[in-house]
């Protein structure tokens, strides 16, 4: 089985102005830049790879405010973005997201799109890097919930057609402090508190895969403990 891994952070109904979202995006891009050599030259999408390569985006708040404020990037009272990077079409990675909206039905988010089997994926899909990506998300976006995991693992543990974000964990799971304290977990699990934000939980320092029964069993154990503690619940409107 070829597994793909991704990371994402999510929150609900936190209305923010465009410039505030731009500052969060600037902070996030700044924090992830040291993690991967290609994550320092960002582009907008276009009809072809060659055209998109010419649409470079400077990752500063002023430029990002203009980008998020463009009509085609506005959704209701929020903004969306899609930024990608890579030296050739087979070695790209992308972050998509939305911010600022007051909707109680559609979450705001920042997502590292699923990574395949490229050299970029081989460099990025490690416990230190994926944990660092989720930590950067926690610091820059202040989400309620975040995770980095295998898409195939999610498919095995979630049966609903539209799974409720916040109700399942991953290889790396982040839970905001206001969700409550994290219970004791197996000693092999890395638990890190991010000051003024929440808690990062990394199951294994090996690359997490559903083909490893020990990884799946550990994930099930930790998920059961978090569920028993009342920490895996659907997103709720910010501040409620």
Neighbours of 161 (CB within 10 A): 5
Q: What is the arithmetic mean of pLDDT over 149-153?
A: 96
**pLDDT tens digits for range 121-139:** 999 999 999 999 999 999 9
Q: Is residue 179 part of a domain?
A: yes
Q: Give pLDDT tens digits for 58-93.
A: 999 999 999 999 999 999 999 999 999 998 888 899
pLDDT at 1: 65
Is the residue at 53 inside a domain?
Answer: yes
Q: What is the mean pLDDT of residues 17-29?
A: 98
Angle at 132 between CA 126 and CA 134, to 5 degrees: 105
Total domain count, the chain: 1
Q: What is the mean pLDDT of the chain?
A: 96
Within a domain: 239:
no
213, pLDDT greater than 90? yes
Residue 237 domain flag: no
Q: What is the pLDDT of residue 88?
A: 85
In a domain, 52, yes or no: yes
> Which pLDDT score is estimated for 217?
98
DSSP per-residue letters across the chain: ----EEEEEEEBS----HHHHHHHHHHHHHHHGGGSTTTT-EE---SSHHHHHT-EE--SHHHHHHHHHSGGGEETTEEEEEEEE-SSTTS-EEEEEEES---SSS-EEEEEEEE-SSHHHHHHSSHHHHHHHHHHHHHHH--SEEEEEEHHHHHHH--SSSPPTTS---SEEEEEGGG-PPPP--TTSEEEEETTTEEEEE--SSPP-TT-HHHHHHHHHHHHHHHHTT------BTT-
Average of per-residue pLDDT across 165-184 = 97
Expressed as residue numbers, the domain containing 223 is 5-228
What's the CA gap between 162 and 5, in Å, rounded? 19
Given a cut of 80, whether residue 179 has pLDDT beyond it is: yes
pLDDT confidence band for 187 (50 / 70 / 90): very high
In this prediction, residue 22 has a pLDDT band, given cuts at 50, 70 and 90, of: very high
Confidence of residue 159 (pLDDT cuts 50, 70, 90): confident
User: Please, what's the largest Cα pairwise distance for the chain?
Assistant: 51
Q: What pLDDT does 90 receive? A: 82
């Amino acid at each position: 089985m070829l597994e793909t891994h991704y990371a994402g952070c999510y929150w609900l109904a936190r209305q923010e102005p465009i410039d505030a979202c731009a500052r969060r995006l600037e902070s996030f891009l700044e924090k992830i830049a040291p993690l991967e050599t290609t994550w320092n030259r960002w582009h907008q999408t276009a009809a072809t790879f060659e055209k998109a390569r010419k649409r470079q985006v400077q990752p500063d708040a002023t430029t990002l405010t203009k980008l998020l404020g463009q009509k085609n990037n506005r959704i209701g009272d929020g903004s969306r973005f899609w930024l990608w990077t890579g030296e050739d079409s087979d070695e790209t990675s992308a972050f998509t997201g939305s911010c600022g909206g007051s909707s109680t039905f559609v979450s705001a988010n920042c997502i590292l799109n699923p990574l395949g089997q490229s050299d970029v994926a081989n460099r990025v899909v490690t416990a230190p890097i994926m944990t660092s990506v989720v930590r950067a998300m926690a610091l820059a976006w202040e989400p309620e919930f975040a995770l980095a995991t295998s898409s195939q693992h999610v498919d095995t543990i979630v049966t609903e057609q539209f799974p409720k974000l916040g109700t399942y964990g991953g290889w790396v799971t982040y839970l905001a402090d206001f969700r409550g304290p994290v219970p004791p977990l197996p000693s092999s699990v890395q638990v890190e508190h991010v000051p003024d934000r929440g808690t990062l939980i990394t199951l294994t320092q090996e690359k997490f895969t559903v083909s490893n029964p020990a990884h799946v069993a550990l994930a099930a154990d930790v998920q059961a403990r978090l569920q028993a503690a009342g920490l895996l619940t659907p997103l709720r409107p910010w501040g409620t």
